[in-house]
Structure 1
């Protein structure tokens, strides 16, 4: 998602974005009730993997399943969404096995690459990103100002630099040159 950065606009409403496979262990059990309380839209781009989540999405007033897209289509869809909303990337992965608890989630890196602050949980690597200023904790989330959102947006852009294709390519090439 690198290169799909859109400056936030103070006059736009906030909405949530979920990228990737959506299944029970990838979302907080009470997230759909949270959407109803917040009265903010959730856009899902990816694949819904189980009956429980399919039912929750269908029942929710505030959830829109957009579908699963190839990379260029997804970039276009997200660019269009960002004309109408300031997005927060949902990252509420549960920890059913060790790799989920130890590695950065691709979705977190994708959100940062686009300057989308994370709404996340206490999972180790997501927690580290949020504590570094790249988003907000879901479990104590109430609301936030545009200024807080903009600060998290700026921090995402800054924090993403070590993950960027350019930095990765230079680092990778340097291993062969030495």
Structure 2
């Protein structure tokens, strides 16, 4: 289960009776029905879920694919909350164009999906939860920002200013996420580099395999990841990479969960000028990749200052307490 979903269940479960309705995979032949909406909406499972809505006073929808359920829930008199953590119409369109390049000539698909999403929200949703300023601006009224909060906030370890420098990357490792730049940086400075996440692109996997100073861990459960991070934190002063390219509108303006994970452990960023990453760097929680020569020579006191600023920024903006407060606010009118 994604950490954010678990946190939502824990917070709401302390105040309300909460059920998680898990959506089961559908048979391949039925799945073809969803092609009618280009997989923007799960038409098959939506029909199966409608009868279950009557058992609840409030419904929280966490995926654009299930947003059509809001219409049925509202007609039953239910309180409806929609949480969206991305520009999903744009992100889905980007995926379609990657798979079928000829669809780049059909931008009306994205615009139509955006229109449907906004109409459903306007007519049938009581409160929208988003995780970025850009999404709040996009959806306007009814919107509450609830940033991602890291499951590593209470990890029993923290960045060590008196240890040698090493590099860290959390999440799916790809060219779109800055894979080439990260490997070039590591190769130039010959620093230990820990990668926790899947690598699909063959050439990147080959480059990683050739470097003795890179330790790569495939995607692992959060609890196991916490244990591995403790080991690394006890041995190094870490910088966390965040070099996401502006490959689509979602990538360009969304907060990256990895950035927040880094800050929760006092790990400053090596970032680029993508909007939300730039904001964190300019707040004193890291540096831009072009400044590496200077910052890698920081002494212990300067490293400690980076740790302290990063932890403070996290507590003020992204902490578990802030997450709980903002989530409960979305249900104030229930």
User: Does TM, normalized by the shorter one, top 0.5?
Assistant: yes
Unaligned 5+ segments in structure 2 are 1-151
Deviation at 1:63, TM superposition (A): 1.3
Deviation at 1:28, TM superposition (A): 5.2
How many residues in Structure 1 have an aligned counterpart in Structure 2?
A: 178
Change over 3 Å in CA distance of 1:7–1:72 after alignment to 2: closer
Higher mean alpha-carbon deviation, 32-41 vs 18-27, is at: 32-41
The answer to whether the 8 Å contact 1:119/1:137 transfers is yes
Change over 3 Å in CA distance of 1:102–1:33 after alignment to 2: closer
- Cα deviation code 1:28-70 (max 9, x no counterpart): 5343232122121110001112112101101223211023210
- 1:125 & 1:144 partners in 2: Cα distance? 26
Q: After superposition, where does 1:1-178 map in structure 2 within 5 Å?
A: 1-4=152-155, 6-27=157-178, 29-142=180-293, 143-145=296-298, 146-161=300-315, 162-177=317-332
Change over 3 Å in CA distance of 1:10–1:150 after alignment to 2: closer
Change over 3 Å in CA distance of 1:113–1:135 after alignment to 2: same
The answer to whether the 8 Å contact 2:159/2:265 transfers is no
- 2:311 & 2:283 partners in 1: Cα distance? 12
Q: What SS is found at the alignment partner of 1:49? A: coil
Change over 3 Å in CA distance of 1:84–1:96 after alignment to 2: same
Larger Rg: 2
- 1:114 & 1:49 partners in 2: Cα distance? 27
The answer to whether the 8 Å contact 1:5/1:113 transfers is no
Unaligned 5+ segments in structure 1 are none
Partner of 2:146: none
Question: Scaled by the length of structure 1, what TM-score is found?
Answer: 0.91
Deviation at 1:115, TM superposition (A): 1.2
Question: Scaled by the length of structure 2, what TM-score is found?
Answer: 0.50
Between the two structures, name the one with larger relative contact order (CA 8 Å, sep ≥ 6).
1
- 2:240 & 2:311 partners in 1: Cα distance? 14
The answer to whether the 8 Å contact 1:5/1:115 transfers is no
The answer to whether the 8 Å contact 2:161/2:303 transfers is no
Question: Structure 1: which 4+ aligned runs deviate by more than 4 Å?
Answer: none
- 2:161 & 2:268 partners in 1: Cα distance? 15
- 1:9 & 1:44 partners in 2: Cα distance? 19
